[in-house]
């Protein structure tokens, strides 16, 4: 009977723990060339994040410390961190995140207080200025009604950013909670959800918008937000469901369950961090879609209604006149693109920060 | 040929007391006997096969585990071997209560743990832990090593006071031979062997009595396998652990096990001490399995007999009648199709003192020294 794992058994008693390393290697040559391949194999893993001295990393595969059970904290050993702290540390140093966060903060700021940078009223127009280009005090020029494009673009941020952020947040939250729970628990609830999402996928966005929103008299953003969430969540729910089903089959979920972890812990600590990435990607891309969808709905007369000021309304009004007065389209459309870009960059940075392998 | 071997109580297990005495006399190293810490009685797990999308109806069942019984004693290592798909891992999941058995009992210190839930189950989990096969999927890639090994303490807060946990985690890292300063690293920064050590440290955290190892080294390369196996043996001595060691590598199982159970298609076909199984196998399947172990010595290789089985493992959804191995067995006769052989000491060895007198589920059990042939 071949015995490739012969090891002097006395070398494995607790009193000689320190020698176990050598014992391991003595026992191995029957199957591999010698101790060197072992060390080389383990040594390749000493990739440091710079937190621990790597001198010990080379020999870490072995029982390295025969001394007291707790090693004195090394110089690079900071406080214990988790995924979220690590992600935050990573984000703060990521220029993409900083730029997009500053941009988004600025957008939120001018949405709340547009008069900070545009003291005029967006509804104070003079037909005499219709479609005029940029003029002193009016850097972006005037639109068909003779309103100042700069003022309208700044004031339009509120409606567009509200629609974009609220609809995205609603879709992401509703979709990932419903889809995630369906994927986690499975069974008839999951089957029901899958058929329900099929039904929602069958409704065309524009036709649905015309039907649902034409009965609403209010000119505020909330019916539009509600409609976008209603038709948008199934997409996120499907993606979240798939991601959760993918994560739930991993052994680490089984391991946590074997430790006695409850459903809440499994979902929040193990499945959520591993399933959130595709949801973030889809949600940030959807944000741009929602802002432009709001524009389309407003153009069709069922979204926001004048005198509400929004980028969508301005873009649709300008789109027919793009050859005569391109500035009318350029500025609100540019603001919209910048907003979408900021959110996509933010989503990208967050997703990368939550993946330790990319650090 | 022995007619109708007498079934021992509930078949398998450690057998009748007089068997135990004989086994002890034969065995080289004495293993403390007495009350088993874990005993499995007639464990059955059938996975239903369903048809239809909305209205599902059961059209059959995969009999992954079909009446398995064995005992595990304090400080002992029970090896379970068998080819892929024979139900080894399902047994592990059943013991861990990760699956509900279709029938049968898992008695931990006399208490059936398969019917437990909630608080009582959580309490039992403290004493039975598991090391997983694949060190790449068994550690959450988005948790630091400190969080992974510390999670048992979060789930069972009474094991370690909050302020003490970090020290405990570092202690565990040290016990499994990893640098305690790696606490803030992520699993992907480690090699396979190191990851498996992290998995072992997590299993040890709650100070369990039993560790179920589901092919803990089969994903590792051979040199690292030896390190991990030696580490596990060291830990067993240190903490008086009982291992249930599942593997398909017969040499590894022989090295670490005190007793070995051989599984085929959801059933245990032979149980005995490592010497009994490896030197004196009586079940044809065990003999075939052993004859497939690679022999490093070229001259010895020519001398030994190689038993090559024909055909595939039958589908566990539709297992053969009678003896499950009969479709591939060179000894099979009509009786094998009609009568299920019970796992018991074969009649012909019943009164002999040879190491061949161990439990074997074959009508025509006879000794055949394949390894030294």
CB contact under 8 A, A42 and B193: yes
Q: How far apart are CA A256 and CA B138, in angstroms?
A: 9
Q: Which fold has domain B28-48+61-286?
A: Rossmann fold (3.40.50)
| Percentage of chain A exceeding pLDDT 90 | 19
pLDDT higher than threshold 70 for residue A21: no
User: Which among A45, A252, A255 has the least Cβ separation from residue B190?
Assistant: A45
Distance from CA of residue A126 to its chain's centroid? 44
CATH class of A83-358: mainly alpha
Contact A82 B144 (CB under 8 A): yes
Q: What is the pTM of this model?
A: 0.74
Check residue A152 and give left, alpha or beta (phi > 0: left; psi -120 to 50: alpha). alpha
Tokens representing A291?
A: 């802002």
**Among positive and negative, which fits the CA dihedral B137, B143, B144, B150?**
negative
Q: For position B246, what pLDDT does the model report? A: 92
Question: Considering only alpha carbons, which residue of chain A is nearest residue B165?
Answer: A80
Q: Residues A306-319: pLDDT tens digits?
A: 778 888 888 888 88
Residues 116-135 of chain B whose Cβ lies under 8 A from any Cβ of chain A: 121-122, 125-126, 129-130, 132-134
What pLDDT was estimated at residue A79? 61
Is residue B12's pLDDT more than 80? Answer: no
Model confidence over B197-249: pLDDT tens digits? 899 999 989 989 999 999 888 888 888 888 889 989 999 999 899 999 998 88
Say how far apart CA B112 and CA B308 lie, in whole Å. 41
Mutate: best of B100, B182, B184, partner A, most A CBs <10 A: B184
Residues of B in contact with A252 (CB under 8 A): 137-140
B11 close to A (CB below 8 A): no
With beta carbons less than 8 A apart as the criterion, state whether A316 and A138 touch. Answer: no
Domain ranges of chain A: 1-78, 83-358
The partner residues of B211 in beta bridges, in order of sequence, read: B129, B243
Q: Which tens digit of pLDDT belongs to each residue from B277-295?
A: 988 889 999 999 888 888 7
Pick from A32, A250, A258: CB nearest B130: A258
Residues B188, A59: Cα–Cα separation, whole Å: 18
Q: Kindly state whether B257 is in contact with chain A, defined as any CB-CB distance less than 8 angstroms.
A: no
Strand partners of residue B129: B211
CA angle B114, B120, B123 (to 5 degrees): 105
What is the side-by-side strand order in the sheet with B210-214? B128-131, B210-214, B242-246, B77-81, B259-264, B267-273
- The predicted-structure confidence for B154-195, as pLDDT tens digits, reads as follows 999 888 888 888 888 999 998 888 999 889 899 999 998 899
Q: How far is A341 from chain B (nearest CA, A)?
A: 27
pLDDT for the residue numbered A115: 86
For the record, the structure tokens of B92 come out as: 């592990």
pLDDT value of residue A24? 40
Q: Are B193 and B224 in contact (CB under 8 A)?
A: yes
- pLDDT greater at residue B178 or residue B347: B178
Q: How confident is the prediction for chain A on average, in pLDDT?
A: 76
8 A C-beta contact, residue B155 and residue A261: yes
- Collect all residues of chain B within an 8 Å Cβ-Cβ radius of residue A265: 154-155
Q: Which of A64, A258, A352 to mutate to test the interface with B (most CBs of B within 10 A)?
A: A258
Give CA angle at B358 (B352, B361), nearest 5°. Answer: 120
CA distance A37 to A25: 10
Those residues with Cβ within 8 angstroms of residue A233's Cβ, 6 or more apart along the chain or in another chain: A170, A171, A174, A175, A178, A200
Contact B255 A5 (CB under 8 A): yes
Given B98, B129, B166, which is nearest A80 (Cβ)?
B166
Domain boundaries in chain B? 28-48+61-286
Whether A162 and A224 have beta carbons less than 8 Å apart is answered as: no
Which residue would you say has higher pLDDT here, B259 or A130?
B259
- Of the candidates A14, A47, A63, the beta carbon closest to that of B189 is on A47
Q: What are phi and psi of B67, to 5 degrees?
A: 85, 70
- DSSP label at B261? E
> Per-residue pLDDT for B19 more than 70?
no
Pair A258, B125: CB distance under 8 Å = yes
Give pLDDT tens digits for A247-278: 988 899 999 999 988 899 999 999 998 898 88
CA angle (A121 as vertex; A314, A133 as ends), nearest 5: 55
Going by DSSP bridges, is the β-strand pair B77-81/B242-246 parallel, antiparallel, or unpaired? parallel
Distance between CA atoms of residues B139 and B214, nearest Å? 15
- Token pair listed for A353: 């920060």
Strand runs (DSSP E) across chain A, as ranges? none
B369 contacts chain A (CB < 8 A): no
ipTM score of complex: 0.80
Q: For residues B322 and B300, which has the higher predicted lDDT (pLDDT)?
A: B322
What mean pLDDT comes out for the span A98-117? Answer: 91
Determine whether the interchain pair A258/B129 forms a contact, defined as Cβ–Cβ distance below 8 Å: yes
Candidates B194, B227, B280: best to mutate against A (most CBs of A within 10 A) is B227
Angle CA B188–B193–B196, to nearest 5: 80
Are A30 and B296 an interchain contact pair (Cβ–Cβ within 8 Å)? yes
Q: How many residues does this entry show for chain B?
A: 373
- Do B254 and A7 lie within an 8 Å CB cutoff? no
Nearest partner of B182 among B153, B145, B140, B151, judged by Cα = B145
Task: Tell me whether residues A258 and B141 touch, CB distance under 8 A.
Answer: no
Residue A69 and residue B206: Cβ atoms within 8 Å?
no
> With 0-12 CB in 10 A as exposed, 13-18 as middle and 19+ as buried, what is B299?
exposed
Q: Which of A14, A18, A80 to mutate to test the interface with B (most CBs of B within 10 A)?
A: A80
Among A95-104, A130-139, A334-343, B187-196, name the one with the lowest average pLDDT.
A130-139
Q: Which two tokens stand for residue B13?
A: 């297990």
Lowest mean pLDDT, pick from A59-73, A240-254, B35-49, B351-365: A59-73
Q: Chain B contact for A107, CB < 8 A? A: no
Q: Best residue in B99, B126, B140, B157 to probe A by mutation, most A CBs within 10 Å?
A: B140
């Amino acid at each position: 009977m071949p015995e490739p794992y012969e090891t002097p058994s006395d070398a494995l008693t607790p009193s000689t723990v320190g020698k176990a390393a050598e014992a391991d290697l003595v026992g191995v040559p029957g199957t591999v060339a010698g101790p060197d391949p072992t060390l080389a194999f383990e040594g390749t893993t000493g990739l440091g994040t710079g937190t621990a001295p790597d001198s010990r990393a080379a020999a870490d595969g072995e029982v390295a410390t025969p001394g007291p059970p707790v090693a004195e904290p090394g110089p690079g050993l900071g406080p214990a961190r988790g995924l979220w702290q690590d992600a935050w540390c990573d984000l703060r140093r990521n220029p993409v995140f900083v730029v997009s966060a500053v941009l988004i903060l600025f957008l939120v700021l001018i949405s709340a207080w547009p008069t900070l940078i545009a003291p005029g009223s967006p509804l104070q127009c003079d037909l005499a200025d219709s479609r005029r280009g940029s003029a002193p005090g009016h850097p972006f020029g005037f639109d068909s009604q003779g309103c100042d494009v700069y003022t309208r673009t700044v004031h339009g941020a509120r409606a567009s950013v509200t629609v974009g952020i609220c609809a995205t947040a609603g879709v992401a939250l509703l979709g990932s909670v419903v889809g995630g729970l369906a994927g986690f628990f499975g069974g008839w609830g999951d089957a029901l959800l899958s058929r329900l999402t099929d039904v929602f996928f069958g409704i065309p966005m524009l036709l649905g918008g015309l039907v649902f929103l034409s009965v609403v008299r209010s000119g505020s953003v909330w019916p539009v937000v509600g409609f976008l969430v209603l038709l948008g969540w199934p997409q996120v729910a499907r993606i979240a469901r798939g991601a959760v089903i993918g994560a739930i089959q991993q052994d680490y979920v089984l391991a946590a369950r074997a430790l006695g972890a409850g459903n809440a812990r499994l979902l929040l600590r193990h499945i959520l961090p591993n399933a959130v990435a595709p949801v973030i990607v889809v949600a940030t891309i959807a944000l741009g879609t929602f802002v432009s969808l709001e524009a389309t709905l407003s153009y069709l007369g069922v979204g926001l209604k004048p005198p509400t000021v929004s980028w969508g309304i301005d873009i649709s009004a300008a789109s027919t006149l793009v050859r005569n007065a391109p500035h009318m389209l350029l500025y609100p459309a540019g603001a919209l693109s910048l907003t979408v870009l900021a959110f996509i960059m933010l989503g990208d940075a967050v997703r990368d920060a939550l993946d330790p392998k990319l650090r | 040929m022995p007619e109708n071997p007498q079934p021992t109580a509930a078949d398998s297990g450690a057998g009748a007391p007089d068997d135990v005495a004989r086994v002890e006399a034969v065995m080289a190293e004495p293993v403390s006997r007495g009350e088993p810490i874990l005993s499995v009685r007639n464990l059955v797990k059938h996975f239903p096969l369903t048809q239809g999308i909305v209205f599902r109806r059961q059209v059959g069942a995969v009999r992954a585990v079909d009446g398995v019984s064995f005992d595990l004693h304090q400080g002992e290592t029970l090896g379970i071997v068998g080819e892929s798909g024979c139900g080894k891992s399902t047994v592990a999941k059943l013991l861990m209560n990760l699956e509900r058995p279709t029938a049968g009992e898992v008695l931990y210190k006399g208490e059936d743990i398969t019917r437990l839930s909630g608080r009582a189950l959580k309490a039992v989990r403290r004493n039975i832990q598991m090391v997983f096969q694949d060190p790449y999927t068994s550690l959450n890639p988005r948790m630091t090593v400190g969080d992974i090994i510390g999670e048992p303490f979060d789930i069972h807060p009474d094991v370690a006071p909050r302020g003490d946990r970090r020290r405990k985690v570092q202690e565990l890292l040290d016990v499994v031979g990893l640098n305690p300063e790696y606490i803030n690293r992520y699993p992907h920064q480690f090699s396979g062997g190191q990851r498996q050590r992290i998995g072992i440290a997590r299993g040890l955290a709650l100070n369990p009595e039993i560790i179920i190892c589901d092919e803990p080294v089969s994903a590792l390369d051979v040199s690292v396998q030896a390190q991990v196996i030696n580490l596990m043996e060291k830990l067993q001595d240190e903490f008086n652990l009982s291992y249930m060691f599942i593997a398909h590598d017969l040499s590894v199982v022989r090295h670490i096990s005190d007793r070995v159970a051989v599984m085929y298609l959801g059933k245990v076909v032979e149980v005995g001490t490592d010497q009994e199984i490896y030197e004196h196998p009586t079940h044809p399947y065990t003999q075939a399995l052993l004859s497939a172990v690679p022999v490093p010595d070229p001259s010895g290789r020519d001398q030994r007999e190689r038993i090559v089985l024909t055909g595939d493992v039958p589908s566990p959804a539709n297992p053969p009648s009678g003896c499950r191995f009969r479709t591939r067995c060179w000894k099979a006769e009509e009786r094998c199709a009609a009568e299920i052989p019970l796992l018991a000491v074969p009649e012909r060895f019943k009164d002999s003192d040879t190491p061949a007198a161990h439990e074997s589920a074959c009508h025509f059990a006879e000794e055949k020294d394949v390894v030294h042939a």
